[in-house]
Amino acid sequence: MKPRHRQIAGILLALAAYGVAAYIVLTRPGTVLSDDGRVTIRIAHWQIEEGPPAAMDALIERYEELNPHINVEQVMVPGKVYKQWLRTQLIGGESADIIEFGSFIGGVSDIPPRFFDPISSYLEESNPYNVGTPLEGVRWRDTFVDGLNTPPDTYIENLSNYYAVTLCMVTMRMFYNPELLQEVSGDTTPPATFTELLALGERLKAHNAAHGTAYSLLAGSQFNGMVLMFPLVSRSGLDVLADMDRFYLQGPDSRDSAVEFVRGSWNYRRPELERGLETIREVSKHLRPGFRQLDRDAAVQEFLRSRALIIVTGTWDATSLRRLAPFEVGVAKMPYPTMDDHYWGHYAWSPVSEGAGGGAMAFYLNKSGKHKAEAIDFLRFITSYEGNGLFAEKSGWLPVIREVPVPEYAQTYLPDFRGFVVRTDFMRGFGSETRDVWEQELHLLISPNGGVEPFLGALEPRFPEALRRDVEAEVRNGYLSLRRDLGPLTSLSVLDRLEGVDPERRRSRMEREGSQNLSEARLYEAVAVLRDGPAVDR
C-alpha cells in the first residue's frame, strides 16, 4: 500500500472509531439520541476499593427497580486524579449530578459555594423511603448517627447551610497478621499499648537478624505514613489546643489554630508538639525504608504478601484486606500513646473520641445538574434504612443511618465517641501551602541522620509565610461565601415584611444570621491578625 493510501486508511479508521464511540455515548440510556425515555443521573466518587463499587451497583439496581423511569450511572475516578478531574469537570459544566467531595482534599474550599447547592430544606423533611421502617416520619437529618453535625464537610459553617449527606462511617484500625505475630513473638495477641508496640518492633528486628527475614512492623507508603503520623502530633498537642480554646469548643479547629499561629499563640517549639515530633520519628523507624516514595497500594500489597505484621489504615481498606488476604486478618484499635506510656505519652490526654469526623463518603448536589429532583431522590434512597443497609451489606463498610444493623465482623470497626476531641491536624490541616512545606521537609525528621532539630530548622523559616498564604486563601473564600449567602438572607427578611412573620421561616433566618455573624467575626479577626499579628491583642 502506498504511503498516501495508508494515510487515508488511517484517517478513515480514526473517523470510524470516533463515530462508533459517539454513537455509544449519544444512545446510552437517558442521553440525546436515546429512545428509552428515562432520565439519567450520574454519581461520581473515588471509592474504588473492594466493596463500594459493587455496593453502589446494588443500590442502583434496587433504585431503578423502584423508579423505572430513572437511569443511574456510577462514575468511578481514581483518588490520585480526582481533584484535577473534579475541577476540570465542574468548570466545564460536565460533572456528575451527585459528587463525592471532602475538604481534606486540600486547596478546594472555593468549590462548595461555587459549584454545589445547599440541601438544608430537604433535610428538614422526612425521608419517604423510610416509610414502614423504624425511621418512618423521622426528619431526614436526624436519621444519621451524627445528625450530619460534622463540619466542615456536611454542614459548612461559613455558608450557614447543610451541603452533603454521608453514606458510611470510617474509623482507623490496626489490621494484623496473626501468623506472623506467632512466628515473631510466639503469640497471636496484638500489642495493646504503645509501649508494647515499640517492644514488638525491637523483637522483630532481632528476629530478622537471626532468621535472615526482612519483615516490617508497619506496612508503609506515603499515604499510610501520613495517616499514622498526624494523630501522633495532634493527640500530643491537645494541651496546646486547650490553651487556645477561646470559644470553649474542646479546642479550635484547624482554621482558627492557623489564625492563632499568626497571632503568636503557639509554635512547634511547644514541648507537647516537640514530643509528638519525636514520636513520629520513633514510629517511622518501624516502616520499611523508602516508604515515603511508595503509593498506597504498595502498603496494602506489603501486608497481603506477609511482609509486614501490621497495617494501620482506615476501615475503607477493611473489605479489601478481608477478601484478598491469604490469612485471617486480625483487627484491633491502634495503640496510640497515653500517659501510661510515660515518656512517649507524657502530654497525651486520653481517651480520644473517634467521633469527631462523624460520617464519611459525603455526597453533594451539583449546582449545574439538570435533574436535581431525581438526584435528591436517589440520595434519599441510598441513605434510607433499606438503602444504607444494602450498602453496608454489599460493601462491608459501616452504615451511617440509625437502626441499620451492623454485621458481627464489623463490630470492631464501630467508633468510640467517648473522650477528648482532636479538632486540629498540625501536620496537614491548615491548607495546601503548609501541607507542601511539611511534605518537602518531613524527610529531615524521619531519615536515619535526621531528627527533630534538623526538621524544625528547615520548617521554621518557611512555615509562617506558607501559613499566611493559607489564611489569606481562607479569607478570600470567606468573602465569597458571605456574599453568596447575603441574597437569600435578605430575601427571607423581605418576605417577613411583605407576608408577615412565618415562625419556621423566622427560625431558619435567625439560625443562618447567627451563623453568618459568627463567620463574619472570625473572618474580620483573621484579616486583623494578618495585618497586625500579635499586636492585634494590644
Asked if residue 416 lies in contact with residue 354, where contact means CB atoms within 8 angstroms, the answer is: yes
Going through 30-163 in order, the beta strands assigned E by DSSP cover 39-45, 70-76, 98-100, 116-117, 155-156, 161-162
Name the CATH architecture for the domain at 29-170+356-413.
3-Layer(aba) Sandwich (3.40)
CA distance 328 to 258: 44
Backbone angles phi, psi at 105, to 5 degrees: -60, -35
pLDDT in tens, 90-100: 988 889 999 99
Three-class SS state of 330: strand
Asked if residue 283 lies in contact with residue 310, where contact means CB atoms within 8 angstroms, the answer is: no
CA angle 101, 477, 235 (to 5 degrees): 65
CA distance 57 to 65: 12
Three-class SS state of 352: strand
For 282, residues 6+ apart whose C-beta sits below 8 A from its C-beta are 198, 344
Residue segments in the chain with a per-residue pLDDT below the cut of 70: 1-6, 9-10, 14, 16-35, 106-107, 150-151, 356-358, 485, 488, 505, 538
CA angle 292, 294, 298 (to 5 degrees): 135
- Burial class, 439, CB count within 10 angstroms (exposed 0-12 / middle 13-18 / buried 19+): middle
The reported pLDDT for the residue numbered 249 is 76
Asked if residue 77 lies in contact with residue 45, where contact means CB atoms within 8 angstroms, the answer is: yes
Residue among 301, 319, 304 at smallest CA distance from 55: 319
Three-class SS state of 156: strand
Cell of 84: 484535577
The reported pLDDT for the residue numbered 135 is 97
pTM: 0.84
The reported pLDDT for the residue numbered 32 is 45
What DSSP line would sit under 397-454, residue for residue? PBP-BTT----GGGGGG-----SB-----TTTSS-HHHHHHHHHHTHHHHSTT--HHH
Q: Which residues of 42-63 are buried (b: 16+ CB within 10 A; e: fewer)?
A: bbbbbbebbbbbebbebbbeeb
The reported pLDDT for the residue numbered 421 is 87
Backbone angles phi, psi at 525, to 5 degrees: -65, -40
CA distance 298 to 300: 5
Written as one letter, the residue type at 74 is: Q
Residue among 463, 339, 353, 502 at smallest CA distance from 416: 353
The reported pLDDT for the residue numbered 15 is 72
The reported pLDDT for the residue numbered 126 is 96
Helix (H) or strand (E) holding 493: helix 452-499
Give the residues across from 139 on adjacent strands: 126
For 11, residues 6+ apart whose C-beta sits below 8 A from its C-beta are none
Name the CATH architecture for the domain at 172-353.
3-Layer(aba) Sandwich (3.40)
Q: Describe the chain by its helix, strand, coil percentages, rounded to 5.
A: 55, 10, 35
Written as one letter, the residue type at 224 is: N
**The residue to which cell 459501616 is assigned:** 398
The reported pLDDT for the residue numbered 266 is 95
Neighbours of 79 (CB within 10 A): 15
CA distance 253 to 422: 8
Residue 431 backbone zone (phi > 0: left; psi -120 to 50: alpha; other: beta): left
For 57, residues 6+ apart whose C-beta sits below 8 A from its C-beta are 74
Domain layout of the chain by residue ranges:
29-170+356-413, 172-353
Cell of 236: 500530643
Helix (H) or strand (E) holding 290: none
Residue 165 backbone zone (phi > 0: left; psi -120 to 50: alpha; other: beta): beta
Instruction: Please check whether the two domains, 29-170+356-413 and 172-353, share a CATH topology.
Output: yes
pLDDT in tens, 386-414: 999 999 999 999 999 999 999 888 899 99
